[in-house]
Structure 1
Amino acid sequence: MNLRDFEVFKTIAECGSFSKASEKLFIAQPSLSKTIQKLEKKLGVTLFDRSNRIFRLTDEGKLVYEKAITMLQQMKELKIELEDINEHIHGHLKVGLPQIIGTFFFPKMAKAFTKKYKEVTLEIVEEGGLNVEKLVEKGEVDVAFVVIPTQSKELESHLIFEAPFVACLPKSHAFKNEQQIALAQLKQDDWILFDTSFALSQVVLESCRKEHFIPNIAYSTTQWDLLMALVRNELGVAIIPSPLTEMYSQNVCVKQISSQYIPWKIGIVVKKNRYKTRALKAFLKIVSDVYKIE
């Protein structure tokens, strides 16, 4: 019984068949079958239910699968720790960046980091905020900038920036001359939201629920410049973080929201209790210095 046996077993369980696992691992199906038979014999259990053409984990198989995930992750982290004993800071970091947040926060921090740590490469992983959280939780991304509070309890977060949401209306809107508006005043309008993979979308929908209405969503997008263009072309209203309006405020009406304070809170997140390489610690220190995290 060795780690490779458990890696093969985990892959078969996740693929749901020997044939798919064979393609993913580039190993012939007979060899996979022999590996599983050998593992079952050594453990004294049946790992897969193959009856009635149904392929699924047995109860014992489910337990072994959970333990295999933990064991393989621990060995992965052990390898990282051993490679990181050297005091010289080098390596590779995957940084999760939702599209909007990346534009505003990453360049300044990246410049400060790469100037000091030239032998650490930064790989940008661009996804919606909620997807980025999941990648950090799975250990597939080392660190990320996201909207907080996060939905995952497995993440450790630190606030680095906060700004209010504002309402963006077409120039011809009935409330164009108002200084401030309540969200409920816009409940009859068409709304333009960010895609549901964006944490911003959840913030906006929750804010509308607080004022007892569900917005009529005419468009949703992953592109904030497209969102502003849709507002400019009188296709709906939008509620967005105020920093976005500083770049694309032409030909739209920007109004403060009087009915509630909706904060855009940006934080840096890592997985709780995960080993932090020297490169990751250095990255977090730079973020702390740049954004004055207490």
Structure 2
Amino acid sequence: MINLSVKDAEYILTIVKEGNLSTAAQKLCISQPSLTQLIQRLKGQTGSNLFYRNGHNFVPTKEGELLAGACQKIYMLSRDLEKQLDNISKKRKGTVIVGAPFNIGAYLFPRLFKIYQEKKASAKFQPYEARSPQLEESLLKNEIDLAVMSKKQKVLNPQLERILLMQERLLLSVPQGHPLNRAAKRIRGKRHPFIDIRLTDGADYILSAPGQRLYDVCNEIFKKANITPHPVLVSRSFEVKERMSAAGLGVTIFPEHYVEFYQSKLDANYYYLLPPYNFLWDISLYYRKDDLRLSAIAECIHILKRLFQEEPIAVPPEKEDFTLL
């Protein structure tokens, strides 16, 4: 039986990386004889030579490479365990790590921070930004506690739960003076006029980047409307898209809450899309099933649900009345 501690694994990996016992000992701040004793002990336990000398280099044998691979797994498992225990400790102290894509984070994090400040609670939240695939991976690895994102989720990972926070409409941003503005129609009780997306066939478009959720949604809209946009700019930033549209570069599509966030500063017209091209944009909260037992996470989920339910742009579940004025 091989008796290998995490510290032993770290020592072996350092020897392999440095290729020299003296250099490895210096890096580990231990004596060279200590490393020699470790190698001899493991040689006795495995019954194999684990290293051989090649000039000044200390090179692993085939058996040594197998041992190094096992040491790498032991070391990484130990690091992951430390990280998870640290996260649990933070949660017990009231620190919740909330992840969101960059565009949602710009809208969400300042509001969430303000709520926690005003509450003056012992609990704290720590923002974390990444793309949606990385957020889901971080959530499964217990690196973050909650993820707020818009994600096409046909099959939910069995380790996760999903709460629909809000559905909202998409808006078409049209520069001032563009001929499309004359085609807009008012609809009773709606915040913005409506427009037929088919009128934008061949128009200059500022598009989202491939891999973004909005890129896929817009492609679905274009396909359903049987139109072909003329791309003049591709950007991952919703703010860049909106500002460039307001500057007159072209039209663009994004969720309504981004428009509400930046609208006071920009000179553009915004229109809802007429049915049947009025796709709804979902924003959902994802969390691990077992984490609701932790009070700090449960409290943050409650805050997020209330924050999005109070949004005036949220689309109610009842059927909409599209009576033209």
Q: How many residues align?
A: 275
Equivalent position of 1:264 in the other structure: 281
Residue 144 (structure 1) aligned with residue 157 (structure 2) = no
Q: Secondary structure at the match of 2:248?
A: coil
The 5 A counterparts of 1:179-190 are: 179=184, 180-190=194-204
TM-score of the pair, normalised by structure 2: 0.62
Q: Secondary structure at the match of 1:148?
A: coil
The 5 A counterparts of 1:44-59 are: none
Residue 90 (structure 1) aligned with residue 105 (structure 2) = no
Residue 107 (structure 1) aligned with residue 110 (structure 2) = yes
Partners of 1:108 and 1:129 in 2: CA distance:
20
Distance apart, 1:283 and its partner CA: 1.8
Residue 132 (structure 1) aligned with residue 138 (structure 2) = no
Residues 2, 290 of structure 1: CA spacing in aligned structure 2 closer, same or farther, 3 A cutoff?
same
Distance apart, 1:280 and its partner CA: 2.2
Partners of 1:209 and 1:59 in 2: CA distance:
53
Equivalent position of 2:296 in the other structure: 279
Distance apart, 1:243 and its partner CA: 2.4
Partners of 1:118 and 1:169 in 2: CA distance:
43
Residues 80, 214 of structure 1: CA spacing in aligned structure 2 closer, same or farther, 3 A cutoff?
same
Residues 75, 99 of structure 1: CA spacing in aligned structure 2 closer, same or farther, 3 A cutoff?
closer
Deviations 1:36-57 (A, max 9, x none): 998898689999xxxxxxx9xx
Partners of 1:125 and 1:170 in 2: CA distance:
34
Distance apart, 1:239 and its partner CA: 0.8
Deviations 1:181-235 (A, max 9, x none): 4444424123212344643333223333444556443212343332122112221
Partners of 1:275 and 1:69 in 2: CA distance:
27
Partners of 1:191 and 1:33 in 2: CA distance:
66
Equivalent position of 1:206 in the other structure: 220
Q: Secondary structure at the match of 2:167?
A: strand
Q: Secondary structure at the match of 1:192?
A: strand
Give the counterpart letter for 2:163 in structure 1: H
Deviations 1:111-134 (A, max 9, x none): 333444633332222334444334
Residues 141, 227 of structure 1: CA spacing in aligned structure 2 closer, same or farther, 3 A cutoff?
same
Equivalent position of 1:51 in the other structure: none
Residues 155, 6 of structure 1: CA spacing in aligned structure 2 closer, same or farther, 3 A cutoff?
farther
Q: Secondary structure at the match of 1:188?
A: coil
Residue 255 (structure 1) aligned with residue 271 (structure 2) = yes
Equivalent position of 1:177 in the other structure: 182
Residues 19, 209 of structure 1: CA spacing in aligned structure 2 closer, same or farther, 3 A cutoff?
farther
Residues 79, 108 of structure 1: CA spacing in aligned structure 2 closer, same or farther, 3 A cutoff?
closer
Give the counterpart letter for 1:156 in structure 2: E
Unmatched tracts of structure 2, length 5 or more: 51-61, 185-193, 311-325
The answer to whether the 8 Å contact 1:45/1:60 transfers is: no
Equivalent position of 1:159 in the other structure: 164
Aligned identity (percent) is 20
> Mean Cα displacement is larger for which, 140-149 or 110-119?
110-119
Equivalent position of 1:120 in the other structure: 123
Equivalent position of 1:50 in the other structure: none
Q: Secondary structure at the match of 1:172?
A: coil
Give the counterpart letter for 1:255 in structure 2: Y
> Mean Cα displacement is larger for which, 137-146 or 211-220?
211-220
Residues 46, 211 of structure 1: CA spacing in aligned structure 2 closer, same or farther, 3 A cutoff?
farther
Distance apart, 1:164 and its partner CA: 0.7
Partners of 1:38 and 1:200 in 2: CA distance:
58
TM-score of the pair, normalised by structure 1: 0.67
Partners of 2:82 and 2:253 in 1: CA distance:
46
The 5 A counterparts of 1:207-222 are: 207-212=221-226, 215-222=229-236
The 5 A counterparts of 1:228-243 are: 228-243=242-257
Unmatched tracts of structure 1, length 5 or more: 48-54
Residues 45, 270 of structure 1: CA spacing in aligned structure 2 closer, same or farther, 3 A cutoff?
farther
Q: Secondary structure at the match of 2:111?
A: helix
